[in-house]
Amino acid sequence: MSKSDVLQMYKLEVEGYTVKSFKVSYEIGYNTVERVSTSYLFTNQQQNDIFNKTRNNSKIYIENIVVAGADGMQRKINPLVIRVAAVSKGEFVERTFFTYTDSTGIVQEYQMEEEGVSKSVLLNAVELCCDAGENIQSFSLTAKLGAYIIEIPSSSNKFTDEMRNFFMKGVSGTKFYFENIKDGAGKPLPSILLRIK
């Protein structure tokens, strides 16, 4: 798997089962880092660490994989090991991020933080962007509220008032996803998992 594939590796799927959680382990320098995902999606932190901080040809371990079958019973399955190769020469890797207006009125890129995103940043979110420099065509915000899954679409790269209303009402710890992201060429981009700080 090349490093460019890592940024497209946004969900863990096991045929016949629903992935509930898993742990990803890898080495950064001389330290072993462990990052846990509490859903079937790889987190932005996991993707960014593997792409930007791990050595070429290093091994990535996907462990403690908990899945649920059709009977609702949860069980652990065998771990996976993948090896990450370097990005090929001339290969372009597209990264997805969002911008917001800071307290001084300047629009800047939000730097992902593992502990979550503050409401002040989310309420001032401007647009979803990608490295290609083209506008995102569309995306949606998805979240679970109680027993219900909500999905708020945007037909452009701009955050909508309905999304800001969700951020306003959201409590600390609420997880949400930016999904169904398409770049200017209509190419699907990896989902982003975030949490309200």
| 91, part of any domain | no
Of 47, 64, 84, the residue that ends a domain is 84
| Spatial CB neighbours of 57, under 8 Å, sequence gap ≥ 6 | 83, 84, 85, 86
Looking at the 3D structure of the chain, how many domains does it have? 2
Task: Answer yes or no: do 123 and 188 share one domain.
Answer: yes
Shared domain check, 190 and 102 = yes
Output the pLDDT for position 58. Answer: 77
Residue 50: domain span: 3-84
Are residue 120 and residue 191 in the same domain, yes or no? yes
Residues 147 and 109 in one domain: yes
56 and 124 share one domain: no
pLDDT tens digits in sequence order for the chain, 197 residues long: 555 555 556 678 888 889 999 999 888 877 888 999 998 888 877 877 777 777 777 788 888 999 998 888 999 888 887 776 655 444 444 567 888 999 899 998 886 665 678 999 999 999 998 765 567 899 999 988 777 889 999 999 999 999 999 999 888 888 888 888 888 888 877 778 788 98
pLDDT value at position 131?
67
Residue 90 within a domain: no
Is residue 75 located within the same domain as residue 127? no
Which pTM does this prediction carry? Answer: 0.57
Domain boundary among 32, 52, 84: 84
In a shared domain, residues 138 and 185: yes
Residues 104 and 80 both lie in one domain: no
109 and 151 together in one domain: yes
